[in-house]
Amino acid sequence: MKWQELSGPQRLKDMQSAIQLLIQWQETTYQLPLLENPEAFYKERSRIAALLVDNHLGKLARKVRLLGEEAGLDTPSFLNDWAEIAFYTALWTKFEHLPDGLKLNLLYHSGPNITKKHLGKIKAHSRILMVVGIEFSREERLLRRTVYFCEQKTGEYFYVLDYSFNDRPFDHNFELGADYQGDVISYPLEGDGRISCEKWQKVSGNGRIDQVPWVSAQEATTLFHNALKVNPFIAPFPAFLCMISDYIDGEWSVVDRAGYRLNMIRMDEEAAARFYASCFRNPTAVFVLCSDQGVRPMSYYNGTGLIDLMRAAPAD
């Protein structure tokens, strides 16, 4: 797929003009005492987000709109989110010099969607995939679901991203640990595992977790680093890690099979209790999502099947 299919000349010019205004706002914000006048920042943030939406940059607008929304302005998460947006704008300023694959990725992750019409031009492949993790996130009345799969014969990971408005049922139901077969279309994004499939069929019997490749933390880091070279928008990065938890000197510690201590992303109390208990002093296969924030466990293998650590969709 050519990147021009997502943006014609005039639309691209509009997007680049909006990016320049975003950069100007960033540069101005660097000089402002944010903590002394946060309301002024939030007001301008909303204006910039609306401007981006009007110029076909809705996904980037969402990142701007959520700046400081939950944790506030004086937090590491705000700085991380701000740096991510700065990374986007840095790429946009070099758009003409980027490889075509990265241009397509940047356009897609900034705003324009790849539609069914685009996907209809791509050849489908029959695959049998095992569900290894299901994640939900909510924004107002929109519920987003990400279903992660692993193809056992190749060790490759894929994901399906779909949405429910006003809590309507999703088009497909997926059972953790089960195998599903379908004619799968891969999105034309280098290094991205997103797929589409119109019709899934559950295969009798559950997948074999022992056939899924486990990696150490160092191996996962190397794989993640190599993937980022191809697609800098790849995070989070899926993997199966062998993990062991222990309670030492009043705090929980988690290591991989090589004894390397892992930086765990903070979980809610219930999910954390389930996770630490699942691998307490016992090497356990855990499906995780890796990012620059650390490791987030999604499910674990209890010897007979995969157990969900997330369990349910978030409440309103």
Is 76 a domain residue? yes
Burial of residue 298 (number of CB atoms within 10 Å: 0-12, 13-18, 19+): buried
- pLDDT digits 0-9 by tens, 156-176: 999 999 999 988 999 899 999
Domain count along the chain:
3
What is the C-alpha separation between 246 and 249, in angstroms, rounded? 10
pLDDT above 90: residue 183: yes
Do 188 and 238 sit in the same domain of this protein? Answer: no
Q: For the packed helices 76-93 and 9-29, what is the interaxial angle rounded to 10 degrees? A: 140
pLDDT above 60: residue 127: yes
Tell me the pTM: 0.91
Do 26 and 43 sit in the same domain of this protein? Answer: yes
Is 30 a domain residue? yes
- pLDDT digits 0-9 by tens, 73-92: 999 889 999 999 999 999 99
pLDDT above 80: residue 24: yes
CATH of the domain at 166: 2.40.50
* Domain termination residue (choose one: 110, 136, 158): 110
Domain holding 217, by residue range, is 211-308
Give the dihedral of Cα atoms 272, 84, 132, 173; nearest 10 deg: 100
Q: Give the pLDDT of residue 108.
A: 97
